Chain A
């Protein structure tokens, strides 16, 4: 195979969804192996590692995000069915949930307000633009909700998507450590807190620890999605932040 044939092959592959779908799965498998090699250490977060590998490849091969996403969208699409599937572990924890629903609703409300207010306040104090503040406000909610809210309040939905994923990684990495420092042992409390603060990526981390913690994290994520959709536009209006 000479150079021009190789180039043609590259042009063909780089335009087809097959290459980027394959690379996404490959990056995930590599990230999982590294995560396992680290003994399941929270710092070796599989999402962060895989995203890093893929970005390095896209920059190196000079591929734009839209081309990459044409292949990756098949994986992205499964977020919907996976969210629906969270009903199953939740159903398994139903009897426990019945006993604690009132404290849970209270804590989710507190958590969602804290998430939005802390992000806006910190960004504002350190000189972040209004667009960035608004894009940060719904960051603890799951991506589709956060992007919808961001759009409605004048943020940038695509920036919010990135902030949401980063928030998830930070919650997944620090969640266990924070709960240990606070002396919180209860699996349901740990799960709900990680789900409220860091949505599906925190939930993915919780499932790595135990199915029970995953179920409560999924619950925290779902409730925080609803509460973010209801409360964050209201909070932004009360604070008088306009883009």
Chain B
């Protein structure tokens, strides 16, 4: 913890923003949790909070520089945050021992298939979109509109 007198050692722009940004993220998370409880949305509170913050940024038209900096730092250490849940594998050694073949195969093969099919279908759908936009352009139906390459 930083003693109050140490504040003078920190450059002015950095003094309070850490708390402000953390507060901002927590307020949006809390808002998300409340919204989920009130509306019964089948989504986790933080995901709703993320969309709420995105909406706020869109309405505001720009982000806060200190929020950008804090988010970049936090997200560059996203791996760290999954470690406690991962260690939970220790609770399930017995089941994993008894059913290792179906579980491991479903995890490895299932995840690889999912990744491949998602990537493939997205690139196919993007090609289709680009083609239909090109043909609309040719037909003169679209005057403005971005053409995907």
Contacts and interface: CB of A to CB of B under 8 A. Distances in A.
Interface of A: 24-25, 27-28, 31, 45-48, 50-51, 54-55, 58-59, 65, 68-69, 72-73, 75-76, 78-92, 94, 99-100, 102-104, 106-108, 110-111, 114-115, 118-120, 122-129, 132, 136, 139-140, 142-145, 148, 158-159, 161-171, 174-175, 178-179, 182, 184, 186, 189-190, 192-194, 196-198, 200-201, 203-204, 207, 211, 214, 218, 220, 222, 225-226, 229-230
Interface residues of B, number: 74
B122 interface: yes
B32 to A, nearest CB: 7
A165 B85 contact: yes
Contacts, number: 317
A89 B118 contact: no
Contacts of A31: 79
A102 B112 CA distance: 24
B88 interface: yes
Interface string B31-45: 010000000001111
B58 A145 contact: no
Contact of A28 (B72, B80, B108): B80
A143 B86 CA distance: 10
Contacts of A125: 102
Nearest to B31: A84
